[in-house]
Amino acid sequence: MDDAVVTPTERPASRSIGILTRVVRVVGWTSIVVGVLILGFVVQQLFVTTWFAQQHQTALAEEAEQHFITAEISETEYIPPAPGGTPGNGAVTPGGGGWSTDEQPPMDSERRTLLIESRPETGSAFAIIRIPTIDRLKDGWVVVEGVQLRNLKNGAGHMPHTPLPGMPGNAVISGHRTTYGAPFHELDELNPGDTIEVDTAVGTHIYEVREVIIVRPTELWVTEPRDGAWLTLTTCHPKFSARQRLIVFAELVGGPNWEVIYT
């Protein structure tokens, strides 16, 4: 029974060991729980969202193909912007500059018709974007109408109130860079001269990259109308951050409407 007797000097020591054990246990369990939550976050954001996006893409690809067959295509007269900046149904620069002096618009007597498709409903798949130099996009990624979060979870999103791809002005398409399939993950690898193709019901529009820049998310000027026919791609920058935006400006160089707009 002498063994069970605790001397006054041993008591505080064993008590502190007990407290220390409890603290270590709480810290240990907290670390495990936090670690599991962080791991869950990474798995959910990188893999689960991508899995969902790929499932949506499969269904949307069929929807887009159907849209190419059933969409109503019409012809409309193309009136390019006047030298003074008066808009036709083409585009003018943000400053209203219209055509430059060495790039005169055609005479009024020239009749030119654009092939146009009716504006798709929000959320519907209407185009496929393909970038041959980017692995993830060389087979194409479906573009849906709208840039709400729910739209961008399914595919790249076309900004409403900007022209459809292949039309005069500035067609803007946004896409995820890290999550939901990350279609624009490697957009920073594009260089001036690289080709971007966009399939629509009208045909395949071919763009050539002119400029890649980084801006703040609030810099709306990148979406403003431009002379000619442009495609602007926007995504988050840097990777794994929503702090800035990577912008790719590309100009139409081929397709069913190119000749009408540029000659």
CA atoms within 13 A on the CB side of 258: 15
User: Which ranges in 82-186 belong to alpha helices (H)?
Assistant: 149-152
SS3 call for 140: coil
- In whole angstroms, the minimum distance from the beta carbon of 259 to another protein comes to 30
Helix (H) or strand (E) holding 253: strand 244-254
- In whole angstroms, the minimum distance from the beta carbon of 147 to another protein comes to 5
The single residue among 166, 175, 228, 255 that binds another protein, judged by CB under 8 A, is 175
The single residue among 178, 207, 227, 229 that binds another protein, judged by CB under 8 A, is 178
Which tokens hold the place of 28? 């240990």
Restricting to residues 136-155, which ones interact with another protein according to CB under 8 A? 147, 149, 152
- Say whether residue 220 binds another protein (CB under 8 A): yes
In Å, what is the CA distance from 85 to each residue of 26, 221, 223, 257, 262? 70, 18, 18, 22, 17
- Say whether residue 177 binds another protein (CB under 8 A): yes
- Say whether residue 245 binds another protein (CB under 8 A): yes
User: Which ranges in the chain belong to alpha helices (H)?
Assistant: 10-43, 49-70, 149-152, 258-262
- Say whether residue 163 binds another protein (CB under 8 A): no
Applying CB under 8 A, which residues contact another protein?
A: 37, 40-41, 44-45, 49, 147, 149, 152, 157, 159, 172, 174-180, 182, 184, 217-220, 222-223, 234-236, 240-242, 245-246
